[in-house]
Structure 1
Amino acid sequence: MIRLHIENETSPLRAVLLGTAKSCGPTPKPEEAYDPKSLEHILAGTYPKEEDMVREMDAFARVFQKYGVEVYRPEVLEDCNQIFARDIAFVIEDKLFHANILPDREREFVAIHEVLDMIAPENIIRPPAEVHIEGGDVMPWNDHIFIGTYTGADYASYITARTNKEAVAYIREMFPHKTVKSFELRKSNTDPRENALHLDCCFQPVGKDKAILHKNGFLVEEEYHYLVDFFGPENIFEIDKDEMYQMFSNVFSISPEVVVSEKSFTRLNHWLRDQGLTVEEIPYAEIAKQEGLLRCSTMPLIRERMSS
């Protein structure tokens, strides 16, 4: 059995679901793209090749093994992109939430049956149909849960709008003892430098009290300042539009002391080391072409309880 336990983004990781790039199918047609960055690479003829993405994910798996983390992988489905495990489900406390995702991605959830079969059925929760939510927008941080959303009247016209206001209300209802804070994200179907697909595309906590942040990803300036005040300006690493596009905020913490990052993120990796963190650098630039990176391709299942 797996006893789920996730309270935050950085406590020592014990078990994780890592997606797979095997048999991820042919390059999509432009009209099949889920996000503007994938579309950009489809049109440019630079969409990533399967063997390159498999190599990148294998490097990630080796880092987990180095730190003694139990790694689960989905069953490989033929011609199906199963890289982004964070989209299909996420864990808060001892509950795994089955995301209401784009309907043609439902089989990705079924493919993690090895993990699901080890979880008590009452701890697997399917939100009601009107709740649209993906794990990239959900950021548990101890007594807070940060959620990225888009509540504009034109929500339905954005394929990049993934988490709605009903989702925020639902998570509040599920976790009445926590402070649930939502953030309106900037959305674009066509310009990847003006699109925060998920909250983790413009914000992520690292270490015990630090955060990576991109101001332009937030539609409401006060909401951006809420995070600056919450972590403290001296603990914030502010990334620019191009660094957001490269997915600088989508690193992944194995513990408060260890962060996995893309090897080309020189400025960020220097800063992380200056904060006393160990940075495990791996190649992940091909996967980044699909507007997702390290956090997107993981679903943490168990992190250690931290003594307060």
Structure 2
Amino acid sequence: MIKLNVNDETSRLRSVILGTAKSNGPVPTLKEAYDPKSMLYIKANTYPKEEDMLREIEAVEEVFNKYGVQVFRPKLIENCNQIFTRDIGFVINDIFIKANILPDREEEIEAIEHVLAQMDQSKIIRFPEEAHIEGGDVMPVGDYIFVGVYREVDYPDYIIARTNMEAVNHLQKSFPDKTVVSFNLRKSNSNPYENALHLDCCFQPVGDKFAIIHKNGFLNEEEYIWLVNHYGKENIFEIDSEEMFNMNSNIFSIAPDIVISEKNFTRLNTWLRSKGITVEEVPYAEISKQEGLLRCSTLPLVRE
């Protein structure tokens, strides 16, 4: 049995579902693309190749093996992008929440049923259909749950708006002992420099007291200020729009003092090391072309 336990973003990782790039399918058409960053690379004819993405994900698995982390992988679906396991579910405390994702990605959840079968079935829940939610928007942080949302009236016009207030309300009902804080994110169907697909595209806690943040990812300045005050200005690493575009806030913590980061994130990785954090660098620039990076392709099940 897998004894689920995730209370924050940085405690020592023991068990994780890591996505797969095998049989990733053909390059999507512009109509099939879900986000402006993928569109950019489809148009430029530089959409990532399967063999490059396979190599990048295997580099992450090697780091997990080095630290003795139990790694589960999804069952293979032919010609399907199964890299971003974070979208399909998440764990808070000892509960696994199946995400309500874009309907044509439902089979990705079915591909991890062999992992879900090893859990206490009474601890697996799903919100009603109208409560849209994806794991990239949800961050347990001790007594808080931080959630990225889109609250504007044009929500239905955005395929990149993935979490709504109905889901936030269900989270609060499901975890009454936590304080759920939602953040209104900036969305753009066409400009990847102005689009925070999920909360982890513009914010992430790291270490015991630090955070990475991109101010323009937040539509409401007072919500950004709340986060800065929560962590303290001196503990925040501010990223610019280019760094946000390259997914600098989407690294992944194995422990408070160990992170996996993209090898090209020189400024960030230098800062992390200056804070006493070990940085395991991997190549992930090809996968990042799909507007997802290390946090997006991992689904933690057990942290201690």
- Provide the residue aligned with 2:260 in structure 1: 260
> Per-residue deviation at 1:188?
0.2
> AA paired with 1:183?
F
What's the Cα RMSD here? 0.4
SS in 1 for 2:31: helix
Cα distance in structure 2, aligned partners of 1:147 and 1:12: 22
1:34 aligns with 2:6: no
Instruction: Return 5+ residue gaps in structure 1 as ranges.
Output: none
- Provide the residue aligned with 2:227 in structure 1: 227
Once the two structures are superposed, the pairs formed by residues 1-308 of structure 1 within 5 Å of their partners are 1-304=1-304
> Per-residue deviation at 1:40?
0.5
Query: Which segment is superposed worse, 249-258 or 121-130?
Result: 121-130
SS in 2 for 1:156: helix
SS in 2 for 1:32: coil
Q: Deviations over 1:248-273 (max 9, x none)?
A: 00000000010100000000000000
> Per-residue deviation at 1:51?
0.4
> Per-residue deviation at 1:119?
0.7
> AA paired with 2:62?
R
SS in 2 for 1:160: coil
> AA paired with 2:87?
D
> Per-residue deviation at 1:151?
1.1
> AA paired with 1:263?
K
> AA paired with 1:4?
L
> AA paired with 1:22?
K
SS in 1 for 2:90: strand
Query: Which segment is superposed worse, 170-179 or 281-290?
Result: 170-179
Q: Identity over aligned residues, as a percent?
A: 65
> AA paired with 1:294?
L
Cα distance in structure 2, aligned partners of 1:133 and 1:25: 25
SS in 2 for 1:31: coil
Cα distance in structure 2, aligned partners of 1:120 and 1:188: 39
Q: Deviations over 1:45-65 (max 9, x none)?
A: 000000000000000000000
Q: Deviations over 1:61-84 (max 9, x none)?
A: 000000000000000110000000
> AA paired with 2:34?
Y
Cα distance in structure 2, aligned partners of 1:213 and 1:151: 20
> AA paired with 1:75?
K
Cα distance in structure 2, aligned partners of 1:2 and 1:115: 9
SS in 1 for 2:91: strand
Superposed structure 1 runs of 4+ greater than 6 Å apart: none
> Per-residue deviation at 1:126?
1.1
Instruction: Return 5+ residue gaps in structure 2 as ranges.
Output: none
SS in 2 for 1:285: coil
Aligned length: 304
Cα distance in structure 1, aligned partners of 2:10 and 2:223: 22
Cα distance in structure 1, aligned partners of 2:173 and 2:124: 16
SS in 1 for 2:208: coil
> Per-residue deviation at 1:113?
1.5
Q: Deviations over 1:83-139 (max 9, x none)?
A: 000000011011111111111100000000221110111111111111000000001
Q: Deviations over 1:143-186 (max 9, x none)?
A: 00000000111000001100001011110111111111000000
Cα distance in structure 2, aligned partners of 1:96 and 1:38: 29
SS in 1 for 2:286: helix
SS in 1 for 2:290: coil
SS in 1 for 2:147: strand
> AA paired with 1:274?
S
SS in 1 for 2:42: helix
TM (norm. structure 1) is 0.98
Cα distance in structure 1, aligned partners of 2:23 and 2:93: 32
Cα distance in structure 1, aligned partners of 2:129 and 2:30: 28
